[in-house]
């Protein structure tokens, strides 16, 4: 098998356009600065828009880009029927994998995209490609391309990119800066590698990489005369909870590549890596063709229909060149050959298999008076429990959720609700009772095969609850901490910080201005948001 370089899904795109040369540190003597261009092609016919990375360098190993685009103007589509992709929301962990086109001898990795959940939010796109060996790209080459369709009334002349025409910011397509770039797999804005010791990167004083933009009209990659797609296989790897591990290229025999990728998987208490499963991106996230679960008591059978043979990924690659794989795990049990860190700590009781729910972080939403108010309890559900004073992993649920029961101050009918959880080792959920609620209780359940979810068996401590006196007081203290921190960061006290709030926090009759001053001073002293205990201590001195 040829030597594989398993490189992380890197980033790059149009950075520092218009800055003078003095903004960059000079490259080392004798080094030629690679040229990277983000090219947008308005495909003839007015239906599609293609984005590609073009590279010119004597020695090429890998390049990548994280771009920001306007989802109200562009939507990614596939290369055959032109069907729009349902882009995931929130973060890279929920990104959607999409097929790309690469150049001869190179591999275009699957693109990854997600959309900001806020109204009017941007969408973010990773593009990357690499070569299995150092490649001479002295002639500028488009190494990877993704295709979009125009949204609604958007026309091809509406598309704007930096450096080619003026536009009121933001442009249709531009560099993804800030947290979106930092949170991507490489955690950088722009990177091009020539070998392990030669890395060019934007915002790097040693080998700064300049990236330009170009906007053209013409034939697309997938249209007659526009070129084709060959090269190695593009593989996107996911962990058992659907988080993206990497996007790589590999030969048909990907044994070495997948073995290396296993090193990027995070530890799973109570479980060990078993197999890679072939998955597709469905309406509810990743799914296998035959419903194989990604964590099981026993190892998957050698003939599991959803498992991939690392020595022959070509047999399972979609459209002949792209593949989505998800890690599957087996329980660490004596039966499976393990003698330590056993799932459920080797205990058989149902209580030993309980998830742990953390103590709440409290705050309040909006105003409150003597009879009304909304209080937030944010908690973590951990796939952990304790035995003999030590944490251990418990059996992973197939469809974890939280059943919440609120008991009103008046009346006999409880209010029952369901919160489905992300199937991760650490899932966050929020409960919001009001002053009309006497107490709130919550438990983790498994929805797999369950129709009567209010009566489902508890998979966490079944006796967890908070009464009204607790969540009103702690929520009020948490809200005071939030407000003091916001003021320390340059904001102002909201009008909701009033005498009623102090009374609910257990400090009726305290001077309001004195309380604000004490909280502001304590927050400035610590340089962070106060704990509820610190808020209490600060107010006791007023």
Q: How far apart are the first and last CA of the chain?
A: 74
pLDDT(117) > 90: no
Over residues 265-269, mean pLDDT: 89
- CA within 13 Å, CB half, 453: 20
Note the pLDDT of residue 182: 73
* Nearest by Cα to 99 from 222, 231, 234, 219: 234
Report the percent of the chain where pLDDT is more than 90.
Answer: 54
pLDDT bracket for residue 23 (50, 70, 90): very low
Give the residue with greater pLDDT, 508 vs 353: 508
Token pair for residue 167?
């536009």
DSSP assigned state of 81: S
65-93 confidence digits (pLDDT tens): 889 999 999 999 877 667 787 888 888 88
CA-CA distance, 318 to 326, in Å (whole number)?
15
Over residues 215-233, mean pLDDT: 64
Average pLDDT in the chain: 85
pLDDT(125) > 80: yes
Note the pLDDT of residue 229: 42
Residue-by-residue DSSP string for 139-195: EEEEEEEEEEEE-TT--GGG---TTTS--SSSPSEEE--THHHHTSSS-SSEEEEEE
pLDDT bracket for residue 411 (50, 70, 90): confident
pLDDT bracket for residue 6 (50, 70, 90): very low
Contact by Cβ (8 Å): 448, 397: yes
Q: Residue 289, class by beta-carbon neighbours within 10 Å (0-12 exposed, 13-18 middle, 19+ buried)? A: exposed
Give the residue with greater pLDDT, 111 vs 485: 485
pLDDT bracket for residue 138 (50, 70, 90): very high
Residue-by-residue DSSP string for 494-536: -TT-SHHHHHHTT-TT--HHHHHHHHHHHHHHHTSPPPHHHHH
pLDDT(156) > 60: yes
- Provide CB contacts within 8 A for 474, sequence distance 6+: 360, 362, 375, 532
CA-CA distance, 181 to 66, in Å (whole number)?
6
Note the pLDDT of residue 21: 25
Contact by Cβ (8 Å): 135, 68: no
Contact by Cβ (8 Å): 296, 288: no
The secondary element (H helix, E strand) that includes residue 484 is helix 468-488
Over residues 53-61, mean pLDDT: 91
430-480 confidence digits (pLDDT tens): 999 999 999 999 999 999 999 999 999 999 999 999 999 999 999 999 999
Note the pLDDT of residue 227: 42
pLDDT bracket for residue 286 (50, 70, 90): confident
Over residues 402-424, mean pLDDT: 93
Report the percent of the chain where pLDDT is more than 70.
Answer: 89
Give the residue with greater pLDDT, 125 vs 201: 125
Phi, psi of 392 (to 5 degrees): -150, 160
Note the pLDDT of residue 439: 97
């Amino acid at each position: 098998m040829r030597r594989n370089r398993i490189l992380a899904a890197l980033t790059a795109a149009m950075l520092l356009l218009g800055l003078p040369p003095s903004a960059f540190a000079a490259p080392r003597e004798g080094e030629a600065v690679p040229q990277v261009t983000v090219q947008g092609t308005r495909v003839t016919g007015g239906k599609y828009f293609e984005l590609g990375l073009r590279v010119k360098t004597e020695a090429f190993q890998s390049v990548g880009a994280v771009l920001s685009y306007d989802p109200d103007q562009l939507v990614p589509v596939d290369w055959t029927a032109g069907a729009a992709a349902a882009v995931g929301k929130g973060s890279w962990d929920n990104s959607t994998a999409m097929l790309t086109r690469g150049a001869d001898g190179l591999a275009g990795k699957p693109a990854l995209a997600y959309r900001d959940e806020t109204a009017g939010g941007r969408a973010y796109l990773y593009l990357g490609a690499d070569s299995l060996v150092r490649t001479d790209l002295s002639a500028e080459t488009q190494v990877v391309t993704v295709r979009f369709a125009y949204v609604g009334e958007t026309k091809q002349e509406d598309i704007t990119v930096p450096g080619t025409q003026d536009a009121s910011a933001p442009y249709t397509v531009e560099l993804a800066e800030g947290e979106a770039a930092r949170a991507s797999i490489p955690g950088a804005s722009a990177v091009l590698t020539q070998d392990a010791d030669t890395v060019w990167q934007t915002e790097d004083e040693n080998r700064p990489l300049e990236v330009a933009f170009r906007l053209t009209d013409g034939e697309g990659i997938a249209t007659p005369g526009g070129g084709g797609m060959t090269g190695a296989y593009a593989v996107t790897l996911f962990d058992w909870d659907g988080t993206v591990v990497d996007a790589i290229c590999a030969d048909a025999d990907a044994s070495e590549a997948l073995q290396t990728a296993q090193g990027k998987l995070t530890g799973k208490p109570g479980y060990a890596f078993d197999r890679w499963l072939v998955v597709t991106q469905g309406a509810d996230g990743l799914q296998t063709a035959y419903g194989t679960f990604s964590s099981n008591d026993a190892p998957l059978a050698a003939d599991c229909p959803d498992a991939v043979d690392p020595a022959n990924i070509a047999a399972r690659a979609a459209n002949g060149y792209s593949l989505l794989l998800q890690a599957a795990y087996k329980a660490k049990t004596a039966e499976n050959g393990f003698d330590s860190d056993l799932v459920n700590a080797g205990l058989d009781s149902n209580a030993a298999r309980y998830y742990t729910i953390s103590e709440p972080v409290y705050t309040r939403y909006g105003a409150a008076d003597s009879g009304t108010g909304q209080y937030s309890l944010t908690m973590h559900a951990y796939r952990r429990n304790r035995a003999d004073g030590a944490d251990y992993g418990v059996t992973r649920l197939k469809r974890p959720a939280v059943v919440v029961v609120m008991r009103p101050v008046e009346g006999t009918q409880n209010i029952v609700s369901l919160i489905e959880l992300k199937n991760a080792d650490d899932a966050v959920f929020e409960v919001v009772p009001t002053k009309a609620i006497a107490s709130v209780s919550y438990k983790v359940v498994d929805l797999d095969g369950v129709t009567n979810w209010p009566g489902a068996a508890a998979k966490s401590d079944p006796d967890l609850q908070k009464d009204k006196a607790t969540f009103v007081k702690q929520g009020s203290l948490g809200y005071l901490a939030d407000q003091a921190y916001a003021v320390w960061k340059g904001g102002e006290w909201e009008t909701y910080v009033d005498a009623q709030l102090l009374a609910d926090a257990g400090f009726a009759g305290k001077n309001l201005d004195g309380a604000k001053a004490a909280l502001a001073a304590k927050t400035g002293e610590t340089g962070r948001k106060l704990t509820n205990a610190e808020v209490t201590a600060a107010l006791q001195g007023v």
